[in-house]
Every structure is written in C-alpha cells, then in structure tokens.
Amino acid sequence: MLLKAIFALVALGAIAGAIGMLVSTNPVHSALFLVWVLFCVAAIYLMLGAEFLAIIQIIVYAGAIMVLFLFIIMLLNLRRDEFGPDPMPNQWTWGLIFSSLLAIALVSATGAATALRFSGDPLTLISIPDLARLLFTKYLIAFELASVILLIAMVGVIVLAKRMKEGA
C-alpha cells in the first residue's frame, strides 16, 4: 500500500513536471522541468527493481544529455519572445484534441495488461551481473555496434557544427 502511494506521488510529480515543461515559455525553465521528470522516471525505475537503469538514467540523461541541452540554450542565447505571430493558430486546439485521444487510446489499451502480474519480491533488485552477462553475450554485437554509433555521432556532430569554409 505504501509503495502504491509512493508510486502515485512520483507519477503525479512526473506528470506535473511534464506539463510544466510544456507551459513554460522560457526554454531554460522547460529544461529544468524535464530534468525533474527524468529524476522521477529514475525513481520509478528504482521501484521496478531496475537500479542499474535508474543510475544510468540520472548520469546519462539528467547529467549529460540535459546539460547539453542547457549548454546549447545558453550558447544560442535564446530570448523567449523572438517569435512572431503563430502561423498556425489552431495548432493548440488540434494538438490538445489529438494528444488527449492518443492518451485515451493508450491508457485504455493498458487495461489488457491487468492479466499480467509482477512476479517475485517487489523490492528485490534484479542483479546487475545478470544484466551484464546478457549484454556481453546475447547482445554483444549490438553492444559493440552501439559504441560505433556513438563514434559516428561524435564525428557527425563535429562535421555538422563546424563552421563551413567559404565555397566549401
């Protein structure tokens, strides 16, 4: 029961954070709200026994990725009132209608999942060695490929962000 209550609290926190991200007009505020949401997600991972992912979530997502976001926002020195009148004034209405429909569809689909029950002790953490073993056997090639992708991304970023020479 207590766990349920904590989960509800964290979930509501995450949703509130997400809404906050959407309504704030300053991108820095949005980014900070998103950091909050990411922390909540990490907490949920922890409650689901995925401690390794929870740590990764905080280090990589909240730590590295969001810092990159903030860095870019500051680098570009964005003002929030730079934009002119909205060329698509009905976008808010349509967006709200269809994302609500999306939410309804998805949530009603989760009803089918009640048949599935969690197995095992709720707070037993899934062992990291098992995860590591899986990662380095069945998914070894995928794992190596992931590192290649990171390398390619690194090269790609340099190419994209480099100032092009005249005529190049």
Q: Please, which of residues 12-51 interact with other proteins by CB under 8 A?
A: 14-15, 18-19, 21-22, 27, 30-31, 34, 37-38, 41, 44-45, 47-50
Cα separation of 150 and 153, whole Å? Answer: 5
Residue 45: other Cβ atoms inside 10 A: 18
Count of residues for the chain? 168
- Structure-token pair, residue 24: 């704030």
Residues from 142 through 161 that contact other proteins (CB under 8 A): 142, 146, 149-150, 152-154, 156-157, 160-161
Is the CB of 82 or the CB of 166 nearer to other proteins?
Answer: 82
- Structure-token pair, residue 97: 């209608």
Among 9, 36, 81, 101, binds other proteins (CB under 8 A): 101
CB of 16 to other proteins, least distance (A): 10
x/- site string to other proteins, residues 116 to 145, per CB under 8 A? xxxxxxx---x---xx--xx--xx-xx---
| Residue 78 binds other proteins (CB under 8 A) | yes
CA 87 to chain centre: 29
Among 89, 105, 165, 167, binds other proteins (CB under 8 A): 105
Place of tokens 């992931």: 146
**Pair 11, 44: CB distance under 8 Å:** yes
